[in-house]
Each structure stands twice: as C-alpha cells, then as structure tokens.
Amino acid sequence: MATVPNAPVPPPRWAVVAAHAAALVTLPSGLWRIALGLGLPVGYGEQVLRDDFHLPGWGVVHVIGLSVVSEALALLTLGLVRPWGEVVPRRIPVLGGRRVRPLAAVVPAAVGSLALVHLWSGFLFWWNTDQHPPMLGPWRTVVGILYQPLVLWGPLLAAVTVSYYRRHR
C-alpha cells in the first residue's frame, strides 16, 4: 500500500480524548452561570446579585455571554485533533481549502493554555479563600465543585497542543 506524501499523521487516541475533555470541562461552570443569568436561585442573595453581578440588568448578558464564549473557545481545542485544524473548511470565505500553518494553531493554543493555567489554577484553593461574595447554604461547596474542572482546561489544552505540534513539525 502506497503512502500519501505529506499526509498528516493521525492524532493519538489520548490526544483525542484530552481534546474532548477540554471541550467539556467548561460545561459545569457555564451551566451554573447561565442559571445565575436566568435568575435561578444558585447561591447568592438578592443584594449580592444586584451589587456584584448587576442582575437583573446588563449582568445577564455578561454571565451568559461568558459561558458561551468559554465553551466556544474550549471547542476550538477539537481543531487540534480534527481535519478542520489542518485544512480550513471550504465553506469559510477567503481561507477555505487552505492548509493551516502549524504555528498559526500552536502559538495561540500555547498562549491560551498558559493563560488558562494562570486564570483557573487558583480554583484549586476555592475553599481556602474568602475572596468571593458570600454564598447561601451549601452553594459554596456546589460552586466550588462546578468550577474545579476548569483547573484542568489549561493542562489539557497544553497536552493536545504539544501533540499537534509534534505531528506537524
């Protein structure tokens, strides 16, 4: 059987699993933020919602938008293990059908993974800090559990980025 020259090496199974995990770790906190934005009782008193989160009001757009943007960015990790991360889909105007230059994917992904580690690693210590607004009842524990998966987002993205780089260098 003949091999196709310059054919991309398929990603290892662990990288595919890690990419899907990276796309899923934002869901628990995102669903909580959407519930918060919709006005469901998710742990904060009315004064905290009004003063700290501006809910109801423009804060609705902020917390729901943050959830949508976070999930969209997390889903981009899949591009590091899918064909659309190697060749821009034809339906994309101007760039469709062109090969993705490896560094055009690796550099933003690497910078993003470092930023995510910096941003979310503090949540490992969620229960040891009082820097967040007071929560009612068991919600502090619930929210801590919902945000813990975000600690994995940066390392998962870093691992998938290294795999992509090694396959495309």
Return per-residue pLDDT of the chain as tens, 169 residues. Answer: 444 456 678 899 999 999 999 999 999 999 998 988 888 878 877 777 777 777 777 878 888 999 999 999 999 999 999 988 888 888 888 888 888 888 989 999 999 999 999 998 888 877 666 666 677 677 778 888 898 999 999 999 999 999 999 998 8
> What burial letters (b/e) apply to 29-68, b meaning 16+ CB within 10 Å?
bbebbbbbbeeeebbbeeebbeeebebeeebbeebbeebe
150 assigned to some structural domain: yes
7 assigned to some structural domain: no
Structural domains of the chain, count: 1
Give the ranges where 10-147 is alpha helix by DSSP (H): 13-24, 27-37, 46-53, 58-75, 102-120, 139-147
127 assigned to some structural domain: yes
2 assigned to some structural domain: no
What are the structure tokens assigned to 146, written together?
């919902």
| Count of Cβ atoms closer than 10 Å to residue 155 Cβ | 16
1 assigned to some structural domain: no
118 assigned to some structural domain: yes
**20: containing domain:** 13-168
